[in-house]
Structure 1
Amino acid sequence: MLVILQFNRKTDSIQLVEFETAANKLVVKNPRKLILLCDSTIQVYKKSDNKKGIMTCMLKKLTAYNELNDYKSFADYSVETEKYAKNNNDKLGILNLLYIKAAMCKKLRLYAQGYRYLDEAIALSKEIPENDQLLSIKMSLFSMKSFFMGDEDKPVNEILNLRLAVIKEFEKIKDKSIITHPGTCYSNAAQSYIYKKDYDSAAYYFSKSEKISLEKNDYRSLWYAYMGFIDLHNLDGEYKKSLPFCDKLKELLTDAKITSNNKNLADYHKRCAAAYKGLKDFDQFVFHNDQYNTYKKRVLNKNEKLLVSSLKYNENKIIEKDKGWTRNLRIYYLILLCLAVLALAVILFFKLKLKKESDTKNLKEKKIEELEEQLNDAFAEVIELAKSNDSNFLTRFIEVYPSFYQKLIKNHPDLTAGEIRLCAFIYLNFTTKEIAYYEHLSLRSVENKKYRLRKKTGLEGQTDLHKWLMELED
């Protein structure tokens, strides 16, 4: 999270703000073009001796190298950037550099080195007078450290304390416009509260995230807030409450306010599938689950390539460091080979797991179809027995709907066989006229039977008996 630096010279201030706006758009969409933009902007700032502007461009260029997975260029240019910052005693620039290095370490899973960068930056921040720029960088450092700890399954209370510290720093900032995604700090804290099963606190922080994200048109933070609400409602078993937030996620994707990349689409379909599964809407569940598996595979393939890049990067560092030491080099190659085998084993495991999940899903779908077919046949049989006034009607009805029958007699054990038979007709949605016809009774007689049934079960006179019986089964 790089802050927008302000200068005394008005023209340079405007140029740097414009540069930051363009750089933020290019860093993901076209990082190679961002590198060219940084180089050309640095030349402009050199003419006016704008050291802070040059430092900002250098940091953005490093971010572009990180996005391109060009770790050799990243390592070389970070040395040049650090030297420039130290020569100009730019402590804020050094803080930002340490943060970017830590972000690179997280990407490569080099957690020990990443922790060292973060701890060094946090210690350095104590030497700098407090201002909005410093508070913004401290937010980034605490947030990054919490993600490191999350990846390593550290205690949730330690992670939560860091995320609450991020919020504390944010609330001290006077000019909050320098924070690109202010709502994220609240969403991150809310996620920690979910892990603690403190759902009230989680809902509070998700609501704060949603509010500030809508105010600032911060769609990325809004995306995380909506996903958090879905997770919260699904965990609480309130699946219907998840659906409006699913629609809001879809709207963000449709309106291109959030990038429709594989990870975002996988996150969207995963949460929709969980909600519809809880609602037992199997058609929607199967659709979203299939979509989730499709995008999840693409994410795994991307992670696989990133892992290969990580191994290559580590291999190059080892070769450079231990050049001429043949014995040690062989040992390191053996370690890399073991890591590669382990990586392939992990990939194979996930592929087999996905296949098993797919087979299980197909088996469940087949069983559901068979059960639905059996239920449809049994329903048709019961209807025919009712219409023919067959003496076996009630017996067969109890066999087909045992759960309903058990709940009915449990709640109302004093019902007679005739009253239970009447309940069966009503449950099957026969009208008063149809019951009278098939039971060879008058309409008046059927109405009297319904009246006595309401009175016996303690129902009000206007109560819909069919709806009451359906709710009784639920």
Structure 2
Amino acid sequence: MKKFIRMDINKNTRTKSILIIQFIFSFLVVSYSQNFDEAKNNMLKARAIKYSQMDSALFYFEKSKNDFLMLGDTLLAIKCLLESSVVNTTKADYSKSYDGYWEVLRLSESIGSELSVASAYDGLGTLYGLFYRHQEALMNYNKSLHIKKQLIKEGKIKLPDILSTYYLIAINYREQQIINKAQQYLDTCYQIRKEYPSKTLFIDAEQGYLLYYQNKFKEAEALLQKVEKSFLSENETYLVILYSFMGDLYNKLDNFEKCSEYYLKSLDVAKKYRSHQNYVPEVYKKLGDLYLSINKPRIAYAYLKNSFNANDSLFGARSINNQRFIEIKDQFRQEQQKLMEKARLTKLENEKRLLFLRNTVLSIVLVSLVMVSFITFFYLKYRHKTAEKMLKSDQKAKEEKNKEILEMKNKELTSSALQLIEKDELLMEIKSKLSSAKNKDLKELIAKINANSKHDWKEFDTRFTSVNQGFYKSLSERFPELTQRDHKLCALIKLNFSSKEMSLLLGISIESVHTSRYRLRQKLKLDKGENLTEFIARV
């Protein structure tokens, strides 16, 4: 009982040690997981409101970016930066957008994320395009295109991932009034969309603009009206651009009312969402020109004044001053890159030292935990093995003792059986001498001798069964076709009786014993060379 209690204590100690180690690791994992989930939820929240509540979206993007950097997930931090830069472009905060894309380039190069580098070039191309620097925009788009084509070739991305760059190049050529080139790139977008079906409203909207420039006004009108419904439910902020183009379309069709209506709609959406502010001065100017064309100078003056004020409030989003600003920023960026390279190397050295120190401390903690775990494990294993050895030793001693007792009882049983045999021999001798007599009393005496022999066998059988428990049962289970007589023979063979001794106990001739042994071998399905006595001894 004490041994079992000791084993339970050892088992409980081992379980507690494992639970403590699991708790420490679980705590670290849960802590990281909670911080990661919070950062991811902030990113998803920002995505959900980036078209309706841009300032809040930018706040959540910034927060999740910083959290991801702290957690060491640079790739997700880059995704936050890319999306926040798009939002800054939409709300005409070009300086922040420009800085965001350059930070994406820096972080992407540090982790070798080529797709993120391509996305940053797409964003920078869009910024240059807004300032009419179309050649520089095209240069950035081509860099992105080259990277994406290589990634497709290597099987790292799929063909639809390149669609956005072709779309941006089409816009670039359309803004330069190179319509045939723009149409070529847009056709490529349609080919990709045909091979990989997807809902790309922007491509359809761009096709409507190209139809306008190709003087296919009715086709342009039908297509733009069709996509308008989809943008109303999916991305209302884009309607600033769409409505501006639809106003241009109806101006060409000399439909003054619809032209004015769509320009005003464009301004309403821009005001509602504070998006695509770079279009606002242009739309005001279009309205001013429209009212000048119908001799309403007062209204025209009001709109042109609004155009000037809007342009001024955006720091001249497309003015010469703002173009100069981005040129200066480019020059500054080149100088800054040299300084940043030096700072980056210094930072890397510091980070290496810090990382080494952190990894050293962490390694010491982990090694200590592992050592404690191993020591505890091997100690418990040693205790368990010791207890197991003691238990096995006790069991072996018990088995040997039982074996000795069994052998002793079988010897007693054999001795008793031999005495019975001697008695039976004597009785058989008396019986043979008396069998010729005809006296009634003598015949009764012979019958009693026969009955006594049967009683002797029953007594022997009972004692055999008590010593060799399960012997007959094991025989019956393995060889169900054996008879009771076969069982008797097996019991005598187990006790190693001779054929003569068996014949006396069973009341049959020696020849019958031999025959019975032969038949028993057949029933037991023994091979010719297999010893019957050894086989029975193993049962």
TM-score, normalised on structure 1? Answer: 0.50
Larger radius of gyration: 2
Greater relative CO, 1 or 2 (CA 8 Å, sep 6+): 2
Structure having the larger proportion of residues in helix: 2
